[in-house]
Every structure is written in C-alpha cells, then in structure tokens.
Amino acid sequence: DIQMTQSPSTLSASIGDRVTITCRASQTISSWLAWYQQRPGKAPKLLIYQASSLESGVPSRFSGSGSGTEFTLTISSLQPEDSAIYYCQQYNSFSPTTFGQGTKVEIK
C-alpha cells in the first residue's frame, strides 16, 4: 500500500498567519490527492480534491498544490475556526486509498 506522511504533526500559529502542511506519498500518485479538515467531535470535511481543486463552499484561503509524491495544503490567513486536524488522502486507482496520520493546527 502507498504510505502517506504528513508534516508537521502539530503546528501552532497566530490568527492571520500563513500556514503550510506537507504530505508525501511513498510512490507517485499523480494528482490523486485530497485534503480534509476534522474539527473536534465532527466528521471530516472535504477541502481540496485532485491536489488543487477547491471543494464547493470551502473558503478561498485554503489552497492545495503538488503532484507526484509531494503535496501541500496552505491556509493563506489563519482564522479561529481553522483550529482542527487536517488529513491528506491518496486515491490512486492502483492501490487501496490511504490517509496521512494527520496534522493538528492550533491557534496561539
């Protein structure tokens, strides 16, 4: 199976900061990558699909980039409601889908 490794595991940032989370795949997955946000006690919410496509209704401060094995999720200006755990997911058709271990974003 393809392993997904996120970094950092936790980050602490201030309101208005630019925040970047990285996700690396153990083998190439083209652009078959999604990002999810999970707030405490809630279900995951799709933010980005196909590496860089913004899901409908998601604020434009969220963006995704990358292809192959290295991907990033960027929050351009961190807001209080962005405090959550963020997961990447690869969905390459030649392998079972797998998730990263998660990155916890805290507000300073």
* Dist CA 18 CA 40 (whole Å): 22
Residues 6+ apart with CB under 8 A from 67: 30, 31, 51
96 binds another protein, rule: CB under 8 A:
yes
Residue 101 touches another protein, criterion: CB under 8 A: yes
Residues in 49-88 at the binding interface with another protein, rule: CB under 8 A: 49-50, 55, 87
Query: In this chain, which of 21, 23, 25, 34 binds another protein, going by CB under 8 A?
Result: 34
Return the number of the residue (14 or 60) whose C-beta is nearest another protein.
Answer: 60
91 touches 30 (CB < 8 A): no
CB of 26 or CB of 97, closer to another protein: 97
Residue 99 structure tokens? 């998730």
Radius of gyration of the chain (CA): 13
Residues that bind another protein (CB under 8 A): 32, 34, 36, 42-46, 49-50, 55, 87, 89, 91-93, 95-102
